Structure formats: C-alpha cells, structure tokens
Amino acid sequence: MGTLKITVIGAGVIGLSCAYELTDVGHEVTVVDAGAVGAGGSAGNAGWVTPFLSTPRAAPGAVRDAVRSFTSAEGPARMRPHAEPGFATWVFQFLRASSKARSEQATASLQAFSRRAIRHFDSLAERGVGFDQYTAGLAVVFKQPHNLDHYAQLLARIRSLGYDGEVSVHRGSDAADFDPAIRRDMAGVMHLESERHVRPETLTDGLAKAILAGGGQIVEHERVVRLASSGRGRWTVVTADGRAIPCDQVVVAAGYPSRALLRPLGVTVPLEAAKGTSMTARGEGTVPSHPLKLYENMVACSPFGKTVRLSGTFDLGRRDSTLDRKRLDMVVRQGLGYLQDWRPTDIDIEWAGHRPTSVDDLPVIGPAPGHEGLYLATGHGTLGITLGPLTGALAAQEIAHRQHQPCLDPFRLTRFANRTKRRV
C-alpha cells in the first residue's frame, strides 16, 4: 500500500497515539483539535496505567448507585437529567448493560485487551517518545477492613481472567510502613505492584513532538465542523475556520464531540460525557511514594515527583467545561482524609474535563460500517491513558496494513446494532 493522507480528529492521548503510530510507518498525518494538544480529558486525569482496573462501570449495582446519585452531593459518581431526549435512552441502555452477564462479558473483553497495555508504553519509550513514567505500582487504600476483604474477591476474579501481576497486602499499621504518607489508622493497602502511572500531560506532549519530528502536522484551536465524503474512500475534513483538509482516511478520536460530528453521516455512537475534576499542587508534609486509589471515596492520588494530583468524580450528563468548585473541594477534602500530613500549599492546576463513555463503558474502535476510509477510536471512559498507546498501535495495523485485529472485535461499533436486532 502506498502512502496515505490521514487526518486524525482529536489531540488527546487516543488521537495522538493513533497519529504517532501512523506517522511512524510513513503515512502523511495531520492532527486537528478544537483546543490545544492534550488540553481536554487527557490533561488533568490521574495518569494510571492499570490493566487490573480495566473493568466497566456498567456493572451490577449501577442502578442502585444511579438512584443514590440523585440525592447525594458527596458521592464520587452523579447522574443528572439532561434536557436532550437521547440522554434518557443512553441511561436506560447503560443500566441494561449493567446486568451480571453483560458486565462479566465486558470485563473479560477489557481484561484480555488491557493485558497488552504496558508493553506499548515500553515500546513508545524504546522508540524515543519522551514522557514521565513511574513504576512503583498502584496502591488501593482502605478505611474499612471489610472493603479490603471484598477487594480480595475482586482480585480472585481478575486473576481468573488471566491477570498475572504481582500483588501484596499490607494490613493495619503495616500500611503506613509501606507508604508513610498513608494515615496510620487505615485498615490496609492492596499493592498492585505491576501497575504504573505517567504524568498525562508529558505523554501527550511527547507524542506530539514525535509526530512533528516524523513529518506529521498538528492543527490546534480549530474545531472540525464537517466530514465530507466524495466516495471511493476520499474525504475532506472542514474546520470552523474554513480550512478544508483532503485525505484518504479519517480517524475520529475527538472524545464526546465525536458523537455530534458523526451524526450527519448517519453514524450513531452512543456516547455521554462524564465530568471529572482534579487539583495538582505542591505542598507540605509527606508526599506519597505510590499512586493511591482511595477506595471508599473513589479518589485518585497521583504523585509526580514533589507534586501531587488529587482527582475524582464521574458526573454523567454534565457536558459543560466549567469547574464545579464544590465537587473539586469535595475531592480534595476526601483525598486528604487518607493522608497522614500532606497538605497543598501551592496549587498548580485546577481542572475539569470529560471522559467519553459509551452505554456499556467499553471503547468504540474500528471502521465505521458503510463509510470507507472512516475509522473510530473513542469512548475509552476512564481508561484513556491505560489503553491509548495500545489502541493507537492496533488501529494503525488495521488502517495502514489492512490487518484485522481480532482483539478489537468486542469494541466494534456494530455491537450496538447487533444488540438492537436481538431485542426485536
């Protein structure tokens, strides 16, 4: 196959990973984004690379949690009604996907897929992509002993699906000995020793630099408003500034806005925006030596050298980009409740962004049926960092080499149409 002209829409970790891999095999790639490189959902998240936690939120208990979210201001996840009629349909389909059978199938698919994730971070580093990466594992911290015992059951389940990472448990005061930043009255810690974390801004920056060094182009602050097909796999990507980019292939990796961009083509992607928030700061006291999942409050604590990021919330239906001060203050307050003495003094970043989430909480990866030259890579939810480089590598194999990747089959767009047909 000759050199292709490829336009990737979206300069988050998914789009940049796709663009880098396609540039790396010699294609002419242009990345277009409505904002700056890495400034969307990739900017302020925890940065975890965690195959163990690659499980869908659409799971048994989601109905109960959804009901609670309407009345609780303190919960990590909230669901708020949206005026758009399609929101109710999305919620209904999400709750249907939370059945035990469907959740188990989705978990097995994600676990099989994510097992390859870490090696692709190694591949990026070996090829000279620069980013800050930490290999101390991931520690799940528990206030209540019964929650630690429950998590041990989850470990057994994930093990049965092929997870082979090293895991150790530290109970009582041993948890503070394991990481002195943890309060001494915590019930315990489960240390997932094989997991990693990165500072996500450095990953998107490193990928962008590698794309440019490889001859690719990046267009920032230009929103794509239309995709026009002239048939035979030829496309024109049109921006709000009037730029028209002709290409042989389009990769749509624009997160939640992918939904509206694809709708005029008759391509329906059931995505919703799940709003997250974080604070990144330097401070006083003991900085954690491990990234921490603060279990009862579902807050993520990620140390980047002397800097700490506290992140959380999964607010479905909140599509605005404004920072919700009450939600951010809640995340910080709850996160500090697990730490011995670290307190923020110099705030670097306060952030709010969206995780594009499908109705079954699985990514959408693969060709758009009936549209030659149109490829989707979106809907990764909270797993964008974990699955980004892997998604990019496999998408490039399918686009550049026409090599079907069976491990992507559970994530094809056609799965939604197939389920609709089965219900009829």
> What CATH number did the domain enclosing 126 receive?
3.50.50.60
Q: Which tens digit of pLDDT belongs to each residue from 338-368?
A: 999 999 999 999 999 999 999 999 999 999 9
Q: Band of the pLDDT at 389, cuts 50, 70, 90?
A: very high
pLDDT at 424: 32
Q: Band of the pLDDT at 418, cuts 50, 70, 90?
A: low
pLDDT at 318: 80
pLDDT at 83: 75
- Say if residue 423's pLDDT is above 60: no
- Its domain, for residue 365, covers 5-423
- Say if residue 234's pLDDT is above 90: yes
- pTM of the full predicted structure? 0.95
pLDDT at 63: 63
What is the number of other CB atoms lying within 10 angstroms of the CB of residue 199?
A: 20
Average pLDDT score over residue span 314-335: 92
Q: Which tens digit of pLDDT belongs to each residue from 2-31?
A: 899 999 999 999 999 999 999 999 999 999
- Say if residue 422's pLDDT is above 60: no
**Structural domains of the chain, count:** 1
pLDDT at 1: 61
What is the number of other CB atoms lying within 10 angstroms of the CB of residue 176?
A: 18
Q: Which tens digit of pLDDT belongs to each residue from 151-183?
A: 999 999 999 999 999 999 999 999 999 999 999
pLDDT at 86: 81
